[in-house]
Structure formats: structure tokens, C-alpha cells
Amino acid sequence: MLKLFRREQYLRVDTLGDRYDVVIIGGGGHGLATAYYLAAKFGVTKVAVLERAYIGSGGTGRNTTVLRANYKTPETIAFYRASYQLYATLGQDLDYNMLRSQRGLLWLAHSEPQLRNQRERALQNQQFGVNTVFLDAAQVKATCPELDMTGGGKRPILGAAYHPPGAIIRHDAVAWAYAMAAQRLGVEIHQGIEVTGLDIEGGRCRGVRTNQGPIAAGKVLSAVGGYVTDIANMAGIRLPIVTHPLQAYVTEAYKPVLDRIVASADLHIYVSQSARGEVLIGAEIDPFTSYSTRSTFPFLASCSARAIDLFPFLAKLRILRQWTGLCDMTPDYSPLMGLCEVENFLISSGWGTWGFKAIPASGLAMAELLATGQVPSLIAPFALDRFRRDRAVPERASAGTH
């Protein structure tokens, strides 16, 4: 009877080999998507994903699942738009229900400077083919009637950039679906295997060392989220990255009242309601670097005060759980991906607080780079050496919270 409802085992357990064409370190969304596209689009199937805990245990299973493309620079708008489009059909493509739900995303302004910023964002988005419109206060109220337009009597809402494509999706399902689809094509997913070193000879990477012994590899990709500095140290390279915790929390389930995803540029928080009724609240990163995933009370207190200013009904709700993930933050808040000075060793990083929505586009582009050796033009602006060349891609205002 149980079999009717539950698959006994959702991932095949393979025996670890001693040589692969590509070894991917990290079974988060980026590692798994890259593995899937290597097999599905480029016929590279002798691929192993090595995950030290369980797949999706990093940022991929801890994020607040906002999908959107309303960024500021032409390079990032093109990249996130491509990713948004891949996400739109991902459930069908991978044959997995991801509970994707298009909600529309309001980005509120409570001050004159932010009003100008949000108007500029809408115009910039339209220029590059992304649907974002500027709304005045009355239109904001009509779009999201639950909002307290006085901002708790302290921060009146003056207007917003409204991005109708804004969506949420089940994050675990994204990891599981990529993993299962990759496995069906012959990719191996190994959980509980930790990479402890890289084999580098004459500036060229030849494989990895693990807690289960060495594994030879044609190419190695690091996709380890907030732990990228560990792997970079193994490769002997230094990155423009610092690791910050990012926290979020949910309330107990409540009747469905909130259709929209609502973010506030001045209050630095965002709120959405999940399919099962929990109200999800997120904010900015902790203000100092850390590898601690311990959740803190000051975060809860300060976010709740701001969230209640937007939605007074939240004051009645109890908090169900709070959690923390680690973010690999870049100075310009854009991804850091591609080749580096060690041959056959590639990095997918700089995913910070914004990388979940990027998983399909980055996976596909990194697979192309691994398979062909050519850097796809979509990700060329995010190359590791861009700061050396004075080519930062500034996105702080658009990427800072989610």
C-alpha cells in the first residue's frame, strides 16, 4: 500500500568510481543543474556530483524561492531573464511538480530617492524586455489590498516597481528534480562524500581528494555556495568573496490572504505566503561575515517590527521556524563564474543572496563551458577576473535581499 504513495528510494545509490570526465563539488542547485545539462544538452554523462551532506542541504534548501528578472544592468537583466524563462517550463522539462506559482512582485518605495530608483528600474527593465511597471500609491493599494499604506504610521508607501512575472517555487523540488533527471541520463550523485583537496600538477587540475579516496577528473567544478573559499584555498587561489549568513523565518499557517510577493527597498524586508499558508519573511544579510548558521533573536525582532508595519495582521501570528544559510557575497552583488588560473578547474560562485533564481541559466551555461571550453556570452560579464579589469557589474540594490 505504501508504494502507492511513496517511492521507496528516490535516488539510486551508485558505487563511487575512480575516474570521471567531470567531477562537480557540491550538490546544491548549481552543481545538480550543471550535471543535468551536461548530460541532457552536451552528451557528457560520465559525471559525478559529490555532496558532503545531502543534496539541497545548503542555500538551495534554505532560500525564500523568489524567481524574478527585474535587475538593473543590461548584463544581469539578460542573464536572469534567461533563467526565469527556463524555470517557467522546468516542471514539464524535468517531469516534476515544483509548485511554481506566479504571484507578481511589488518593490515598494517609502522615500523620494527610492521612488526615483523604482521608476528607473521599471524603465530600465522595459528597455531590456522585462515586464516591470511603475505604480503610484493608489495602484499599489489596488494591487495588494492587505498593505498598510501608512507603513505603520511611520513609513508611508509612495509607490512601487511592479514585476508581474515574480514567482515562487518549491526549492527542494528543484534540487530533487535536477538530481533525478541527471541520474536517469547516467550521471552519478554521491551524498556523504566530502572533497578534502584538489590534485593540481603544473597549474592543471587532475582530480579531487575525498574522505573516500582520490578521484581523477578531466575537469572539476566547484559549486559549494558559502564554502567556496575552502575549495579556492585547495586550488591556491584567492577570490573577491566573503561569506555572510542570511536568515529567514515563517509564521504558522494562516488563511490565504497574500497573493503578491512584497519587497520593500527602504525597509529591507520581503514577504510572501506559501501554498500551505505560512507567511515567509526574509531580509538583508547579517552585517558581519560568519560561517555560523545559528539563527538570532535580534534578526527576528527587527524583521517582525518592519513586517508588521507593512502587514498589521502579522502581529497576531506565531512564528513557526527560523533558519540561516551562508551566502558567498561578491563586492558588486553579481555572480562570479567561469574559468580561473588553474586549468581544468572551474568555479560557480558569487551566488550570494540572489542565486536560487539563477540555477537553470547558470547550470546550462556552465555545462556548455565545461563541454566546449567556450565561455557563453550570457555569462562572460561575470568572469572571475572582472575586478582586475575594472568591469564590476553593480547590482546591490536589486540583489541585496533575495
CB of 3 to ligand FAD, least distance (A): 29
- DSSP letter, residue 351: -
254 scored as a contact of other proteins (CB under 8 A): no
Distance between CA atoms of residues 225 and 234, nearest Å: 15
Residue with smaller CB distance to ligand FAD, 66 or 303: 66
Distance between CA atoms of residues 259 and 238, nearest Å: 43
- Name the pairing type of β-strands 66-67 and 167-168: antiparallel
Draw the binding track, 33-62, toward ligand FAD (x: CB under 6 A; -: no contact). Answer: -----------------xxxx---xxxx-x
- Name the pairing type of β-strands 204-210 and 47-51: unpaired
CB of 282 to other proteins, least distance (A): 19
Q: Which of 78, 354, 370, 386 binds ligand FAD (CB under 6 A)?
A: 354
Q: If we measure between CA atoms, which residue out of 42, 283, 41, 310 comes closest to residue 150?
A: 310
Which of the listed partners (ligand FAD, other proteins, none) does 344 bind, with a CB threshold of 5 to 8 Å by partner kind? none
Q: Which stretch binds other proteins (CB under 8 A): 14-22, 91-99, 234-242, 347-355?
A: 234-242
Q: Which stretch binds ligand FAD (CB under 6 A): 116-124, 225-233, 296-304, 390-398?
A: 225-233
Residue with smaller CB distance to ligand FAD, 160 or 327: 327
Q: Which of 126, 150, 292, 377 binds other proteins (CB under 8 A)?
A: 292
Q: Which stretch binds other proteins (CB under 8 A): 82-90, 119-127, 205-213, 290-298?
A: 290-298
Which of the listed partners (ligand FAD, other proteins, none) does 388 bind, with a CB threshold of 5 to 8 Å by partner kind? other proteins
**Which residue bears the cell 539563527?**
295
Are 272 and 169 in contact by the 8 Å Cβ rule? The answer is no
Distance between CA atoms of residues 123 and 116, nearest Å: 11
Q: Which of 65, 70, 243, 330 binds ligand FAD (CB under 6 A)?
A: 65
Q: Where are the alpha helices (DSSP H) in 243-350?
A: 297-310
Q: What residues pair up with 213 in beta bridges, in sequence order? A: 210
Sign of CA dihedral 38, 40, 42, 45: positive
91 scored as a contact of ligand FAD (CB under 6 A): no
Residue with smaller CB distance to ligand FAD, 338 or 352: 352
SS3 355: coil
Distance between CA atoms of residues 128 and 60, nearest Å: 28
Q: If we measure between CA atoms, which residue out of 108, 196, 202 comes closest to residue 156?
A: 108
275 scored as a contact of ligand FAD (CB under 6 A): no
387 scored as a contact of other proteins (CB under 8 A): yes
- Sheet with strand 159-163: strands edge to edge: 133-136, 159-163, 105-109, 261-264, 269-273, 278-283, 242-253, 319-329
Which of the listed partners (ligand FAD, other proteins, none) does 229 bind, with a CB threshold of 5 to 8 Å by partner kind? other proteins
Distance between CA atoms of residues 401 and 378, nearest Å: 23
Are 169 and 83 in contact by the 8 Å Cβ rule? The answer is no
Q: Which of 20, 23, 24, 29 binds ligand FAD (CB under 6 A)?
A: 29
Distance between CA atoms of residues 134 and 121, nearest Å: 8
Residue with smaller CB distance to ligand FAD, 64 or 183: 64
Which of the listed partners (other proteins, ligand FAD, none) does 31 bind, with a CB threshold of 5 to 8 Å by partner kind? ligand FAD
SS3 109: strand
Draw the binding track, 329-348, toward other proteins (x: CB under 8 A; -: no contact). Answer: --x-----------------
Sites of contact with ligand FAD (CB under 6 A):
25-31, 50-53, 57-60, 62-66, 194-195, 223-225, 227, 230, 246-248, 282, 325, 327, 351-357, 402
Sites of contact with other proteins (CB under 8 A):
227, 229-230, 238-243, 287-292, 296-298, 331, 387-388
